[in-house]
Amino acid sequence: MYVIIVGAGDIGSQLLEIATRENNNVVVIEKDEAVATRTAQNFDCLVLNRDATVMDALEEAGAEQADAIISTTESDATNIMVMLLAQELEIPSQVSVVHNPEHMGLFRQLGVNVLENPEHLIAEYLYRAVQRPAIKDFMHLSGDAEIFEITVGEGSPLVHRTLATADEDGILPDDVRVVAIERDHSVILPQGDTEIRTGDLVTVFSTRGFEPEIIEVFVGEEGVRSKVT
């Protein structure tokens, strides 16, 4: 895949490391000369010390053959301008960081895939990790809905029950769905007759997020209490 990355700061450099590790054809546009020089020394890719809000900078980066462009600068104004130019150049996939939540609508109106304020997302993730230690990973969706991973505890009322039985007995709330189970290094796509076992790492969709009563279903009452105390 041919990818243009705009900005080689904290986010861009991490992205660049992943993209180059997976053998993508990557070009970086970085306005800061010192950052551009350091990036060129540390990564095996083409680095342009240019202003990406200028059309010919994107053209020099190979926009006509690019599969995707990702703008990671700290300025929403810069990012939106890059996205507008990318659309004019018909780069198929356009992705951008958005720092101010009030600007999200504008990016989405353009059809840009967005990542909202990475610093805020990290802070929220760290807070949730302290607040709900049983949660291994999570993704916030629209409204209060979330997808999260959680390990089934010994005290869970789900243990040794099938998902169908748990549903019939009212143990699993109507707005909660188990969408995947990781067990013994294998991933199971659960069916109604799938039995839940202690130690299963389950991926859960919940329209109410991970409220305490939902967590209790998977770790048991004692598990919730021990995490809180």
Going along the chain from its start, the domains and CATH numbers come out as: 2-116 (3.40.50.720), 132-228 (3.30.70.1450)
Q: Which residue has the tokens 């009563």?
A: 213
Which of 97, 80, 70, 96 is closest to 3 using CA atoms? 70
- Output the six-digit token pair for 14: 């991490």
Average pLDDT over residues 138-165: 88
Average pLDDT over residues 152-172: 93
Average pLDDT over residues 50-75: 96
Q: Which helix (H) or strand (E) holds 226?
A: helix 221-228
**Phi and psi for 29 in degrees, rounded to 5?**
-115, 120
- The SS3 assignment for 16 reads helix
Residues 6+ apart with CB under 8 A from 106: 80
What local confidence, expressed as pLDDT, does residue 180 receive?
Answer: 96
pLDDT at 135 over 60: yes
What local confidence, expressed as pLDDT, does residue 134 receive?
Answer: 74
pLDDT at 10 over 70: yes
pLDDT at 120 over 70: no
pLDDT at 115 over 50: yes
Q: Which helix (H) or strand (E) holds 29?
A: strand 25-29
**Phi and psi for 164 in degrees, rounded to 5?**
-65, -45
Q: Which of 41-45, 78-82, 120-124, 198-202 is predicted least confidently?
A: 120-124
For 170-227, how does the pLDDT look when each residue is reduced to its tens digit (9 = 90+)? 999 899 999 999 999 899 999 999 999 999 999 999 998 878 888 899 998 764 544 4
Give strand pairing partners of 196.
159
Q: Which residue has the tokens 């979330």?
A: 146
What local confidence, expressed as pLDDT, does residue 227 receive?
Answer: 47
- Give the number of C-alpha atoms closer than 13 A to the C-alpha of residue 73, restricted to the C-beta side: 23
Buried b (16+ CB within 10 A) or exposed e, 128-161: beeebebbeebebeeeeebbbbbbbbebbbbbeb
pLDDT at 229 over 50: no
CB distance 98 to 76 below 8 Å: yes
- Output the six-digit token pair for 200: 């299963």
What local confidence, expressed as pLDDT, does residue 116 receive?
Answer: 72
Q: Which of 97-106, 130-139, 157-166 is predicted least confidently?
A: 130-139
Q: Which helix (H) or strand (E) holds 177?
A: strand 176-183
What local confidence, expressed as pLDDT, does residue 212 receive?
Answer: 84
| Mean pLDDT (the chain, rounded) | 89
Residue scoring higher pLDDT (6 or 185): 6
- Output the six-digit token pair for 149: 């991973």
